[in-house]
């Protein structure tokens, strides 16, 4: 039998073949599963095709070929329209200066040659105004607009923030305008808090966990930990603006080499960050040229907390005893599950999931007015720069980034994770002038592993009604 | 001689009114379009709001507007593209009154007019005129309050999205039928349509003190009364919301209001406004079958709109999200996808004649 275009899954309850072309899971018997395992691993299999497999083949499943003939994003024709009329968010890099030297920060020190380092460069008011005007002239079809402040540490430029907010509120009068800021939280004072509250600026403060975890990485330039100062400022914020403080979000960068329970203690059991919204993310060491590694302690304990969170989702465990970090991740898994239920099969002209229209949803403007698709890409990379606020968008570059799958078309067309790929143009940035196919392909295994985990999660939720109904019934 | 007028607040939803203002009414002439700055239309041609061909009227900003080029302010709060609260409208209306301008405030009904404006009107300011549907002179014949089908042919104009040019289609059709000497009763969603002599039924549809059964009967009575008063040859009705739910995540109103209206006045013909990427024959056939049961009419013709759905934004926001594409894309699409079962039209770039002539071959008037 020719190797079919599928991926095999097994759960404690069932065996499945994931039919890639039709984007469907088909439950199969153990024998059929073993047979297909042998086929997929090119083992010399002289066994007759099991009747179950033969029936699936007759019904149009298990084709050896991908139906995808060409990779092109369906919005390729509309790039100009969306970027000329429907920008929704801009993030302004107000400064490249920061009063911290966090050890994992992509801008810290000179160890990372692919990304810029901290400097005293700042965005002038004239550049900021031109950036806001740039956004304004391209939002006619946007129902909502957001202006974000970023750095370095953006609060260093608080006077500029005030000017930008004042200018924007007048300019965008009649539009649903919001602001957001990501800060290390060490420079907050009463004036700043009151200003943010008055203008309803969505506040995200970075804090990585309890003191010993946070202070291991998040340090001042003199090496001293930031936990005490940040927590003091959070408490102060809660006391002078309690209603505003309810909307505070804590951005928690998690290093999975640490013990998960240790990270988690800060937000449960009446501890410091109980009842505060947590936005967790795993540390990104890509621009350091390192892979992110997960310790066994982290894995085991995180999976346990995730299990409790899923039980809580099913109404079988009290929510207030679950980890907010795990809850966030389980919520994302549930959103994925609901989305996957309506996800469709592959088309002849199709595109791997992953890329957004560069610049449309989170346009990033650096201190000099250069445009990037988001704040996560390298500002030193000419491949990632998609224009300037003065010259406008480089639509050709935007097209190439949007159609990043076309860079490795032959590989992508035959990849089982086509519909669930998470690779965007950032992964194809080798620091050269253009996008690199080789660099992109180096991320395939990671993306496939992520897709595999997502699909296993999907299977868990879809098996609940069949295999766990009695156990989850309240 | 027409009275010079300004319109506030101009946004995409008002573009069809602006385009057809001179042709559809005799009382006013629009000399100024005033927009809120945040809508990014200041200094641009009004058609830029929908990426339509230019119409030669630029949009002005609030600080520049109190000049001698206009005498009357036409103001309608009932729009959903402007994120302005009542205070902005009331404040602007007051400024106009103090600047010795007349103000015409169009609203769904007397109950919807902000009390501060009602008070201004009640205290003898002759400069403020409230135009509300429930003040219209409609004669109710002595047929009682039971539900009775409408006798005049009814053309319903509705869209997969509300924004798919349904108002423009309605206005153009109404104008075209009138040009040919037919008596036309037109019912639209936006109370600004009252300036064109159109009707609205929002004062019944949006009441919260009666149930849906009562709404249907009252709307039926009201439209029958209009039919009795105006004796039209055709009734053109703009669907009050999208004809159907868009998706599980983006319900788009579920088509509830249109369904309720279709029970009050069952359409004989249905013109669909669809984003050009959703105008494929197979999809239209599917929808036509659904609408024939749910609304009482199949789809007879399709107007292809230049709207593009922004699916990626909708996935995140769970709200309807779209942009207006260049009209060339619509023309290119139509060229490739013409079919006989569901004729495709584009009244924005091609005008109404083709659609009108096609409808005349169907409608029995």
**Residues A340-349: pLDDT tens digits?**
888 889 999 9
Residue A53 has pLDDT above 90, yes or no: yes
CA distance A358 to chain B (A): 12
Average pLDDT over residues A3-24: 96
A142's tokens: 């946007």
Closest to A443 (Cα-Cα) out of A292, A265, A241, A222: A292
Cα separation, A164 vs A461, in Å, equals 46
Q: Residues B122-136: pLDDT tens digits?
A: 665 678 888 888 888
| C-alpha dihedral, A192 to A197 to A200 to A201, nearest 10° | 30
Residue of A138, A141, A169 best to disrupt the B interface, most CBs of B under 10 A = A141
pLDDT score at A431: 82
Q: Cα(B284)–Cα(B357) distance, rounded to whole angstroms?
A: 21
Structure tokens at A296: 């066994």
What is the per-residue pLDDT for B143?
66
Cis bond leading into B312, ω under 30°? no
Around Cβ B42, how many Cβ atoms within 10 Å? 20
d(CA A462, CA A472): 13
Decide: B187 and B198 in contact? Cβ < 8 Å: yes
Which pair of structure tokens corresponds to residue A291?
A: 């892979």
Name which of A138-147, A277-286, A373-382, A392-401 the model is least confident about.
A277-286
Instruction: Measure CA A18 to chain center.
Output: 25
Q: According to the model, what pLDDT value does residue B61 have?
A: 85
Chain B CB contacts of A176 below 8 Å: 83
The CA distance from B262 to the nearest CA of chain A, in Å, is 30
CA-to-CA separations, A289 to A450, B281, B313, in angstroms, rounded: 20, 52, 32
pLDDT surpassing 90 at residue A122: yes
Please answer yes or no on whether B324 and A81 come within 8 Å at the CB atom. Answer: yes
CB contact under 8 A, B321 and A361: no
Report the pLDDT value the prediction gives residue B119, as an integer from 0 to 100.
72
C-beta neighbour count of B245 within 10 angstroms: 13
Q: Tell me whether residues A173 and B325 touch, CB distance under 8 A.
A: no
A interface with B, Cβ–Cβ below 8 Å:
75, 77-78, 80-82, 85-86, 88, 136-141, 143-145, 170-177, 339, 342, 356-357, 361
Return averaged pLDDT per consecutive 10 residues of chain B, 365 residues in all: 92 94 94 92 95 95 82 80 74 87 89 80 72 83 80 96 94 96 96 94 93 95 94 97 91 94 97 94 95 96 95 87 94 87 92 94 85
- Mutation target among B14, B40, B83, B315 for the A interface, most CBs of A within 10 A: B40
A435's tokens? 């996008």
Q: B104 or A265: which carries more pLDDT confidence?
A: B104
- From A48-62, A86-100, B30-44, B138-152, the region with the lowest mean pLDDT: B138-152
- Neighboring chain B residues of A75 at a CB cutoff of 8 Å: 312
Please measure the distance between the N-terminal and C-terminal CA atoms of chain B and give it in whole angstroms.
Answer: 34
The answer to whether B48 contacts A140, with C-beta atoms less than 8 Å apart, is yes
* The pLDDT of residue A253: 86
Name the more confident of A370 and B81.
Answer: A370
CA distance B218 to chain A (A): 35
Which residues of chain A have a CB within 8 Å of the CB of B35? 174
Q: Which segments of A208-334 are extended strands (E)? A: 249-254, 277-282
Residue count (chain A): 474
pLDDT of residue B337: 86
- What angle separates helix A324-341 from helix A444-467, to the nearest 10 degrees? 80
Put simply, the answer to whether A85 touches B313 (Cβ < 8 Å) is no
What are the phi and psi torsion angles at A16 (to 5°)? -135, 150
CB atoms near residue A225 (< 10 Å):
16
Q: Which residue of A has its CA nearest to B10?
A: A174
Query: How many angstroms away from the CA of B231 is the closest CA of chain A?
Result: 41
**Residues of chain B neighbouring A139 (CB-CB closer than 8 A):** 40
SS3 A122: strand
Determine how β-strand A89-93 pairs with β-strand A363-365.
parallel
Nearest chain B residue to A135 by CA: give it.
B40
Please tell me the predicted confidence (pLDDT) of residue A249.
94
Q: What's the gap in Å between the CA of A172 and the closest CA on chain B?
A: 3
Handedness of CA A356, A358, A361, A364 (dihedral sign): positive
Contact A81 B81 (CB under 8 A): no
Q: Describe the strand order of the beta sheet including B128-132 as a list of residue ranges.
A: B59-61, B28-35, B3-8, B72-76, B102-107, B128-132
- A425, two tokens: 């143009």
Nearest to A122 by CA among A163, A90, A154: A154
For A361, which residue in chain B has the nearest alpha carbon? B313
A111, pLDDT greater than 60: no
The 10 Å Cβ neighbour count of residue A376 is 15
For residue range A424-456, list pLDDT tens digits in order.
Answer: 898 899 887 889 999 999 999 999 999 999 999
Of A226-230, A274-278, B308-312, the least confident = A274-278
- If you count them, how many residues does chain B have? 365
Label residue B91 exposed, middle or buried (CB < 10 Å: 0-12, 13-18, 19+).
Answer: exposed
The overall pTM is greater than 0.95: no
Is A287's pLDDT higher than 60?
no
Question: A336 to chain B: nearest residue by CA?
Answer: B315
Average pLDDT for A7-30: 96
pLDDT tens column, A391-413: 999 999 999 999 999 999 999 99
Our CA dihedral for A434, A437, A442, A447, rounded to 10 degrees, sits at 100
Q: What are phi and psi of B184, to 5 degrees?
A: -125, 130
- Average pLDDT score over chain A: 90
User: What pLDDT does A97 receive?
Assistant: 93
Please state the rounded mean pLDDT for residues A159-177.
95
What is the per-residue pLDDT for A295?
A: 84
Q: Considering only A59-73, A207-221, A259-273, which range has the smallest mean pLDDT?
A: A259-273
Closest CA of chain A from B307, distance in Å: 10
Of A75, A140, A174, the CB nearest to B82: A174
Higher-confidence residue: B67 or A263? Answer: B67
Asked if B40 lies within 8 A of A176 by C-beta distance, the reply is: no
Q: Measure A126 CA to nearest chain B CA, in Å.
A: 20
Tokens 């869209």 -> residue = B159
Query: A342 and B248 in contact by Cβ < 8 A?
Result: yes
The edge-to-edge listing of strands for the beta sheet with A392-393 is A277-282, A249-254, A201-206, A176-183, A144-150, A89-93, A363-365, A370-372, A387-388, A392-393
Nearest by CB: A141 against B37, B322, B326: B322
Query: Which pLDDT value is given to residue B1?
Result: 87
Q: Which residues of B touch A77 (CB under 8 A)?
A: 329
Which candidate, B213, B330, B196, B229, places its Cα nearest to that of B263?
B213
How far is the alpha carbon of B57 from chain A, nearest alpha carbon, in Å?
17
Q: Which two tokens stand for residue A118?
A: 């901290």
CB-facing half-sphere around the CA of A159: CA atoms within 13 A? 4
Helix-strand-coil split of chain A, %, nearest 5: 40, 15, 40
């Amino acid at each position: 039998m020719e190797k079919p275009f599928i991926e095999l899954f097994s759960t404690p309850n069932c065996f499945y073949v994931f039919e890639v072309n039709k984007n469907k899971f088909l439950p199969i018997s153990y024998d059929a599963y073993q047979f297909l395992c042998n086929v997929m691993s090119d083992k010399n299999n002289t066994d007759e095709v099991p009747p179950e497999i033969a029936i699936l083949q007759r019904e149009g499943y298990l084709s050896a070929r991908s139906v995808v003939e060409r990779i092109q994003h369906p919005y390729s024709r509309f790039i100009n329209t969306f970027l000329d009329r429907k920008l929704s968010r801009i993030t302004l890099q107000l400064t490249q200066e920061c009063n911290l030297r966090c050890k994992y920060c992509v801008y810290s020190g000179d160890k990372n040659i692919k990304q810029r380092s901290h400097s005293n460069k700042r965005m002038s008011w004239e550049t900021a105004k031109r950036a806001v005007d740039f956004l304004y002239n391209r939002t006619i079809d946007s129902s909502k607009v957001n202006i974000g402040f970023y750095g370095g540490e953006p609060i260093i430029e608080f006077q500029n923030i005030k000017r930008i907010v004042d200018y924007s509120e007048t300019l965008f009068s009649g539009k649903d305008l919001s602001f957001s800021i990501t800060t290390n939280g060490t420079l907050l004072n009463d004036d700043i808090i009151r200003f943010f509250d008055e203008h309803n600026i969505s506040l995200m403060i970075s804090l990585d966990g309890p003191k010993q975890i946070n202070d291991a990485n998040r340090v001042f330039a003199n090496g001293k930990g930031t936990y005490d100062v940040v927590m003091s400022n959070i408490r102060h914020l809660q006391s002078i603006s309690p209603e505003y403080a309810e909307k505070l979000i804590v951005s928690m960068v998690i290093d999975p080499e640490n013990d998960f329970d240790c990270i988690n203690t800060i937000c449960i059991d009446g501890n410091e960050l109980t009842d505060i919204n947590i936005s967790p993310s795993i540390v990104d060491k890509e621009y350091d040229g390192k892979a992110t590694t997960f310790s066994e302690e982290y894995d085991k304990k995180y999976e346990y907390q995730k299990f409790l969170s899923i039980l809580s989702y099913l109404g079988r465990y009290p929510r207030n005893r679950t980890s907010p970090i795990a809850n966030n991740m389980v919520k994302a898994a549930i959103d994925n599950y609901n989305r996957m239920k309506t996800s469709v099969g592959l088309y002849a002209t199709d595109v791997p999931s992953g890329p957004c229209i560069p610049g449309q949803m989170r346009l990033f403007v650096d201190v000099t007015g250069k445009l990037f698709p988001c704040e996560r890409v390298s500002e030193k990379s000419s491949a990632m720069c998609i224009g300037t606020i003065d010259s406008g968008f480089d639509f050709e570059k935007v097209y190439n980034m949007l159609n990043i799958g076309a860079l490795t078309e032959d590989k992508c067309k035959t990849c089982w994770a086509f519909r669930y790929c998470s690779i965007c143009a950032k992964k194809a940035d080798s620091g050269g002038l253009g996008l690199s196919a080789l660099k992109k392909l180096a991320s395939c295994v990671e993306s496939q592993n992520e897709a595999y985990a997502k699909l296993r999660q999907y299977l868990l939720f879809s098996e609940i009604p069949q295999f766990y109904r009695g156990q989850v019934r309240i | 001689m027409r009275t010079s007028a300004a319109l506030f607040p101009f946004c995409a939803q008002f573009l069809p009114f602006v385009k057809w203002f001179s042709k559809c009414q005799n009382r006013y002439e629009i000399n100024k379009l005033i927009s809120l700055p945040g809508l990014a239309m200041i200094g641009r041609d009004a058609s830029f709001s929908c990426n339509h061909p230019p119409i030669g009227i630029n949009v002005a900003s609030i600080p520049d507007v109190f000049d001698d080029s206009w005498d009357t302010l036409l103001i309608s709060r009932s729009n959903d593209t402007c994120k302005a609260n009542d205070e902005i409208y009331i404040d602007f209306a007051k400024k106009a009154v103090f600047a010795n301008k007349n103000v015409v405030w169009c609203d769904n009904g007397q109950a919807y007019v902000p009390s501060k404006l009602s008070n201004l009107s009640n205290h003898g300011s002759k400069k403020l005129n409230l135009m509300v549907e429930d003040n219209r002179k409609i004669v109710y014949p002595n047929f009682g309050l039971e539900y009775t089908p409408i006798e005049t042919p009814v053309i319903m104009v509705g869209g997969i999205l509300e924004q798919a040019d349904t108002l423009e289609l309605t206005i153009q059709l109404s104008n075209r039928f009138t040009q040919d000497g037919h008596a036309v009763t037109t019912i639209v969603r936006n109370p600004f349509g009252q300036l064109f002599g159109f009707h609205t039924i929002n004062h019944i549809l949006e009441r919260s003190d009666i149930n849906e059964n009562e709404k249907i009967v009252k709307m039926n009575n009201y439209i029958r009364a209009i039919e009795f008063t105006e004796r039209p040859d055709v009734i053109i009705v703009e669907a009050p919301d999208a004809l159907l739910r868009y998706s599980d995540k983006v319900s788009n109103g579920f088509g509830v209001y249109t369904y309720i209206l279709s029970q009050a006045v069952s359409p004989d013909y249905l013109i669909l406004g669809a984003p050009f990427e959703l105008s494929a024959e197979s999809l239209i056939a599917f929808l036509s079958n659904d609408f024939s049961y749910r609304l009482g009419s199949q789809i007879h013709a399709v107007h292809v709109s230049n709207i593009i759905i922004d699916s990626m934004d909708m996935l995140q926001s769970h709200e309807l999200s779209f942009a207006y594409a260049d009209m060339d894309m619509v023309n290119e699409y139509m060229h490739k996808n013409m079919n006989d079962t569901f004729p495709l039209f584009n009244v924005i770039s091609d005008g109404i004649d083709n659609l009108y002539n096609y409808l005349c071959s169907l409608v029995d008037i």
